Structure 1
Amino acid sequence: MNDITNRKDIELMVDTFYGSVREDDLLGPIFNRVIRNNWPKHLDTMYRFWQTVLLHEFAYKGSPFVPHRKLPVEAHHFERWIYHFNSSMDENFAGKIAEEAKLRAQKMAEMFMYKLNTNSNKKRNT
């Protein structure tokens, strides 16, 4: 198995991951309800995001958290998300960049959970 080295690898990574997410009983309904018929646009955004993060080719601009801040998700959703991400990575890639992708995804999930909890607590206290 090879490591992630180019945009084609990023596309395989993202397509495999979101293919499993879309079929998941817990995550699929959330993603499909929010994204609806805009999957090509969403996937392209994810290609550009991971291309920027992993290959240092600056193709993505924006804040990855903003589109997620109002989603009805909790810790168990992120645990399932990480499971699918890591499984998709392990099925297709091995190497330093693949491991970096898993680490970045884990850190992103932790940061999103923290921000969602912080925002939720602010709403309850106002």
Structure 2
Amino acid sequence: MKKLKTREDIEHLVNSFYAKVVKDETIAFFFNDVARIDWDKHLPKMYSFWETILFGQMSYKGNPMAVHFPINQVEAMEKKHFDKWLELWRNTIEENFIGENADMAIYKSENIARLMAHKMEMARNPN
């Protein structure tokens, strides 16, 4: 096990994570069928997103929340989906990395998932 400290580490983490996601019975359909992700475009964005979150590199440009609202309109993104996303993310980190940045990646993902689940629920049920 090694520390999570470079862009290459993030690329390995993200690639390993999404290899699990695309096969998962609970959430794969969001990526494969609903959003029909272009992985050649999506993965570099995710590398930059996590590089920005963990290392402060400011390489990510975009609004991750805004990207999820249209998907949520087609197919409800519920807490159980975010819980599965978190489980896969946490497991991938724990299988590959140790240290402060690995812990921070888990902590930040929990905050992101909680906020995103709340926002998606509010978008579906505004009252």
Q: TM-score, normalised by structure 2?
A: 0.91
**In the aligned structure 1, how far is the partner of 2:122 from the partner of 2:37?**
31
Count residues with an aligned counterpart.
Answer: 123
Decide whether the 8 Å contact of 1:13 with 1:88 is kept in 2: yes
**In the aligned structure 2, how far is the partner of 1:94 from the partner of 1:101?**
11
Runs of 4+ in 1 over 6 A off after TM superposition: none
Q: TM-score, normalised by structure 1?
A: 0.92
The 3 A distance-change label for structure 1 pair 37 and 77 is: closer
Asked if 1:82 is matched to 2:80, the reply is no
Asked if 1:97 is matched to 2:101, the reply is yes
**Structure 2, gaps ≥5 residues long:** none
The 3 A distance-change label for structure 1 pair 102 and 117 is: same
70-79 vs 46-55, greater mean Cα deviation: 70-79
Q: Report % sequence identity.
A: 35
Shift of 1:37: 5.7
**Structure 1, gaps ≥5 residues long:** none
The CA RMSD over aligned residues, in Å, is: 1.2
**In the aligned structure 1, how far is the partner of 2:30 from the partner of 2:105?**
23
**In the aligned structure 2, how far is the partner of 1:105 from the partner of 1:13?**
13
